[in-house]
Chain A
Amino acid sequence: MSKNGPIALAYHALFVIFMLAPIVVVCWVAFTPEGFLSFPIQHWSLRWFKALAFYPEFVAAFWRSLWLGALSSALAVTVSVPAALAIARYRFRGREAMTALFMSPLMIPNIVLGIAFLRFFTEIGLSGTFIGLVLSHIVIVLPFALRLTLASAIGLDRAIEHAAVSLGASEWTVLKRVTLPLIVPGLASGWALAFINSFDEVTMTVFVAAPGTETLPVRMFLYIQDNIDPLVTSVSACVIAVAVAALVALDRAYGLERLLVGRGSHGR
């Protein structure tokens, strides 16, 4: 193994600081006793964490975001499986167009999608509903779910499925007993990436959500439009704590690298 030189080390250090500084600052400021955002803080206090108890809409929004992310990601992955298998193994008319269509939400600015969904949902009576949120989030996260599902479908050795067929397995049995178990790591990473994107989304969601169906980022965005107190920093600190805890738990249980890299060939 070669050692890094001093310049490389300095570069890495700067990079890590650049990545972590905003997160550290937000968590730090959350402990201020003052009624305004200031940095560095003079004294430590849990004032703004205690204040969360008086804002139940933040807690409700957090749970809503969690469910929304979980549900829309699961549905996006479900839709991705047949699409990915078809794109990965067959050359058919409209294959390129289909791939482009599924990936297109990445190209369209979310704000444009937001306006479009607002119009569309108003027409069909879904405006401001949780179902509307789920539908629009499926569209937003589909490219991420599809990309990783596709990667594991392409990496699948077709001979393995042929082997199952030659041993007498029906198409349904091959899918259930061989294909799906082999692409599960890809599906899991696709779901995780989709979830993160859904949880994070504000630009489009702000158009689709209504009072009562606000997601956490939308609630925070609307709050800081009217207030300049450090409440949002304590909310942020809580979200970061939850995210770190989830990552540690995932790493212990499953191996983070495996989840995010999505190696298809590792069975269990």
Chain B
Amino acid sequence: MAFLALDNLTKSFGSHIAVDRLTLGVEKGEFVSLLGPSGCGKTTTLQMIAGFVEPSAGAITLEGRNLRAVKPAKRGLGIVFQSYALFPHMTVAENVSFGLEMQGIAAAERARRVGETLDLVGLGEFAGRFPRQLSGGQQQRVALARALVIRPQILLLDEPLSNLDAKLREEMQIELRQIQRTVGTTTILVTHDQGEAMALSDRIVVMNHGRAEQIGPPHEAYERPATAFVAGFLGKTNLVNGASVRPERISFAASGLAGTVKTRIFQGNHWLYQVDTADGLVTVIRQNTGEAMPEEGAAVHLAWGAS
């Protein structure tokens, strides 16, 4: 049995079914993302694992013991909230120390572990600051440190990067991945950002209307989407002759599907084409290799490998 197992987990609010018979096994040390549009049930799933939402049906087991019978305060999970939810009236060190204090750990040991964890997230010298004196990215790290310091069995991340700007988000993704590898904590991330989910996870769970549409490694889900929804949600896709083809898989060739270049956009490392064909508009992405590329209005042929 998996380290954390969700078995037919269901939550309905009146007639609305938020999570519909979700079954998922998470292995120890694994990084799994729940990915989907807003309202797909990913946050409700996380809240049921955390214990803040009572499931309507189904089971949650952690190392074989029934988690539903355990109070939220006793589950020993580390949670990073979307709003960070830092204690605004406590310093960074007091925030991080809070969970250790609840466990009744002696002050000297607390101070040592708080210092260690703040160093891990690179905030060693900010221990005496208040959250409002920190930037969004720094608050994010404090929230992560506060969740990690109690050495949780599972780390739950609820859209932790969505309040950061694009550049910072990318940096934090890399850092989050490194920290998770260092401490080896089993992690569940909830996100609507497919790039983030694919970059960070060992496996992703693509959710829609409360159901898991596909569960698998990011590369597999991207290359072999189980449903049209998964294909569309994980990236740009073309439907040609009833088959779904990723834009970067299509190349310009001497023969193949005939068409005319409608628009061409240069995006630095690649070119983005819209080609008018008998099968409708086809999106093509080509690496920029420095060579000359077909111009707008040019007649082209499109080819792609049968995959």
Which residues of A come within 8 Å of B, CB atoms? 157, 159-160, 162-170, 173, 177-178, 181-182, 265-268
**Which residues B65-99 have CB closer than 8 A to chain A?**
72-79, 81-83, 85-90, 98-99
Contacts A169-B73, A170-B73 given; does A163 touch B81 at CB 8 Å: yes
Q: Is B42 an interface residue (CB 8 A)?
A: no
Q: List 25 A-B contacts (CB under 8 A).
A: A159-B82, A160-B88, A162-B52, A163-B81, A163-B85, A164-B87, A165-B52, A165-B72, A165-B73, A166-B78, A166-B147, A167-B99, A168-B73, A168-B74, A168-B76, A169-B73, A169-B102, A170-B73, A178-B87, A181-B89, A182-B88, A265-B88, A267-B90, A267-B130, A267-B132
Q: Is B50 an interface residue (CB 8 A)?
A: yes
Contacts A167-B102, A167-B146, A267-B130 given; does A157 touch B83 at CB 8 Å: yes
Residue on B nearest A268 in the bound complex, by CB:
B89
In the assembled complex, which residues on chain B have CB atoms less than 8 Å from the CB atom of A157? 83, 85
- CA–CA, A159 to B86, complex, Å? 9
- CA–CA, A265 to B52, complex, Å? 23
Q: Which 6 A-B pairs have the closest CB atoms?
A: A267-B89, A167-B99, A168-B102, A159-B85, A163-B85, A159-B81
Q: Are A182 and B79 in contact (CB under 8 A)?
A: no
- CA–CA, A268 to B72, complex, Å? 29
A interface secondary structure, majority: helix
B169 to chain A minimum Cβ distance, whole angstroms, is: 20
A169 to chain B minimum Cβ distance, whole angstroms, is: 5
- CA–CA, A168 to B72, complex, Å? 8
In the assembled complex, which residues on chain A have CB atoms less than 8 Å from the CB atom of B85? 157, 159-160, 162-163
In the assembled complex, which residues on chain A have CB atoms less than 8 Å from the CB atom of B81? 159, 162-163
In the assembled complex, which residues on chain A have CB atoms less than 8 Å from the CB atom of B74? 168
In the assembled complex, which residues on chain B have CB atoms less than 8 Å from the CB atom of A181? 89
In the assembled complex, which residues on chain B have CB atoms less than 8 Å from the CB atom of A169? 73, 98, 102
14 A-B pairs besides A168-B74, A169-B73 with CB distance below 8 A are A157-B85, A159-B85, A160-B86, A162-B79, A163-B86, A164-B87, A164-B98, A166-B77, A166-B79, A167-B99, A169-B102, A178-B87, A267-B90, A268-B89
